[in-house]
Structure formats: structure tokens, C-alpha cells
Amino acid sequence: MHLEDPYVVVYKQIHAVCSEDDRQAEIMELSSCYGGSAWARFHYSKGPLILASRNLGNWFRYTVRPGTIDLDLKSSRRSAGIESVLINGGEVRITYAGLGGGGVGATLSRAKAGDVLRYEVSECGGGRVAKGTLVVPRRERLIVGVDDTDSKTEGATWSLLHNIASAVDRPEARYVSHSLVQLFPVPTKTQNCVSTVIEFACLPGRDEEMLADFRSLLERYSVSSQTGMAVFRGYDPSILLPFSLRCKRERVLYEDATAAAKAANVEVVLDGQGLIGAVAALPHFAQPDESVKPGIE
């Protein structure tokens, strides 16, 4: 039995999703080893560039302020971190640094990840400080909300949406999160009154083919004539949160959904009654543990 590279555990994917003004970014890492990434998150989160961090399953996500700082690494206390995030046109340069095993993770484990364009790494391992700079494409957030794909006897929106998102995932538009959103139990609900929101990390201007495939599969497999599908392009859809919270607390009109969509520049792709839940789902992207909670007890 042979281990090709016994000290390197390669991340599956690494992405950088940037705000419209490039003043904030979210680095997303799809881990191959939860324990190693949890250690990294503990240490990385102490870095001055990190505004927030969290994990959703094996996705580890860091909200960062672009810039460059001195990490002042110290063994066992802050053994690794993100030293620099620089956005330049269509590319983002991320420099990681670490001591010992943290240096291995900061260099080769990330440099060989999927969707990395190129990299520069120093020697790693032992007691030395190691650094690795990755260049990844600058990506933008695209959020899809869907509701009403099932009937009283057939289907479940959340499972159909996961399967569709997995099928249309591609280098230009990576499927990165899935959340179920509990809404107010209106009389017209099929069962649980839950909509679904899917998040993609997309290359700018390269999402149309993915969305066309997404819509085609949704129309093919939905068993409802009232399916709603809404798309938000942008870093932060919180402008929709007041409408969404209303949908969690009370019954709202279809006209309220279309007005909220228009105000937030949401693209209405399918305009069935499910559009209400589709629009309401959008601001709850990447919050699966919170979005399942009802608006009222």
C-alpha cells in the first residue's frame, strides 16, 4: 500500500465571492477533512482581515476585508491565517500563512484545490513559516428561490432543488448552499409551506446557460402548475428581509411579492403562485439552521 502524498489533504474547491464594490469578499473552501478545516477556522478567525467565519457542512466560509496585514504567527495560539486578499479585475489573490502543519494546509492543501487558476508556494512542514498565494477567479453571488413544485401526493421542493442544483453545477457556476425556508402555513399550502433557496458562486456574465438548464429541469420535473422561480444577482439580498419576515408571520398577497421583487431587481423566471415563497426565500440563503424556524411559535 502506498500514499502518494501523505501530508497533503487537498481541498475540493476554493472560491472568492466579491461584493459589487470589491470592499468585501467571502472566501469559500470545500473541505476534504472536516477536522483539519475546523482547526484552520479556529486560527484563521483570529486574523485582522477576517470579519466573520462559519461552516455549512464541509463548506468553510470566511467573510474578509480585502487588504494585507502582518499575522504575527505564534505556535498554538495563532498558528495559521489569511495574510492577504487582493482583488484585481477578474482575479483574487489570497495569501495563506502557517507554522508546521498549518503551513502545509496554507500551501499545498489549498494550492491543488479545484478552480484555482495558479499558485505560488514556499517550502512547508517542520517549524518554519510557510506561505501560499492562490489566484482564483473573482466570482459573484447568484441566488435562486423556488416554491410550489409538488402536489398533495407527489414531490418535495427541497429535494428536487438539490438534485437540479447538483446537476447544473459547473466551473462557471458552482453550487455552494441550500436552505429550506419555513413560511406561514397558508390554506393553499401543499403540506409544510416550505420554500427553498439555492446559492451559486458564478463567474460574471457566465451564468445564463446554467440558469437555462436549471429552469428546463424545474419545468420538466415540477408536478405543480403554480411553480415560482426568482433570481437575485448580488452580494447581499437583505433588502428583501422585511418582505420575507412578513411571509413567515402572515399570509401575503401575490402582488406584494411582485412589488418586492421589482424593488430589489429580482428576476422573475416562473410566475406561478409559488413566486411568493420563492421571493421570500432569497434573503435566507446559506442560513439553513435559521431559515427552518417559523416566524411565529
pLDDT digits 0-9 by tens, 135-158: 999 999 999 999 999 876 676 899
Q: Is the pLDDT of residue 114 over 60?
A: yes
**197 and 260 share a domain?**
yes
Amino acid letter, 72: D
Q: Give a yes or no: residue 230 inside a domain.
A: yes
Domain boundary among 90, 115, 138: 138
3 state DSSP class of 29:
strand
**102 and 168 share a domain?**
no
- State the DSSP code for 267: E
**122 and 210 share a domain?**
no
Domain boundary among 138, 165, 187: 138
**154 and 275 share a domain?**
yes
C-alpha pair distances (Å), 224 with each of 50, 69, 148, 220, 273: 44, 53, 6, 10, 10
Dig out the grid coordinates for 288 from the structure: 439553513
Contacts of 74 (CB under 8 A, 6+ apart): none
What does the pLDDT read at residue 122? 73
Q: With both helix axes pointing from N to C terminus, report the angle between 208-221 and 157-168 in degrees, rounded to the nearest 10.
A: 140
Range of the domain at 84: 13-138
What does the pLDDT read at residue 294? 87
**41 and 78 share a domain?**
yes
Q: Is the pLDDT of residue 259 over 80?
A: yes
Bridge partners (DSSP) of residue 13 are 30, 114
Q: Give a yes or no: residue 3 inside a domain.
A: no
**238 and 218 share a domain?**
yes
Q: Is the pLDDT of residue 196 over 80?
A: yes
Strands (E), the chain: 13-18, 25-30, 50-56, 59-64, 67-68, 80-88, 91-99, 118-121, 129-147, 173-182, 194-202, 228-233, 267-271
Q: What CATH number corresponds to the domain at position 190?
A: 3.30.70.2200
**282 and 153 share a domain?**
yes
pTM of the model: 0.93
Q: Is the pLDDT of residue 231 over 80?
A: yes
Bridge partners (DSSP) of residue 254 are none
* Lowest model confidence (mean pLDDT) among 91-95, 104-108, 205-209, 274-278: 104-108
pLDDT digits (tens, 9 = 90+) for 150-191: 876 676 899 999 999 999 999 999 999 999 999 998 655 445
Burial class of 291 by CB neighbour count within 10 A (0 to 12, 13 to 18, 19+): buried
- pLDDT mean over 227-247: 97
**112 and 179 share a domain?**
no
Q: Give a yes or no: residue 6 inside a domain.
A: no
**204 and 260 share a domain?**
yes
**102 and 130 share a domain?**
yes
**217 and 190 share a domain?**
yes
Number of structural domains in the chain: 2
Contacts of 203 (CB under 8 A, 6+ apart): 137, 139, 140, 171, 172, 173
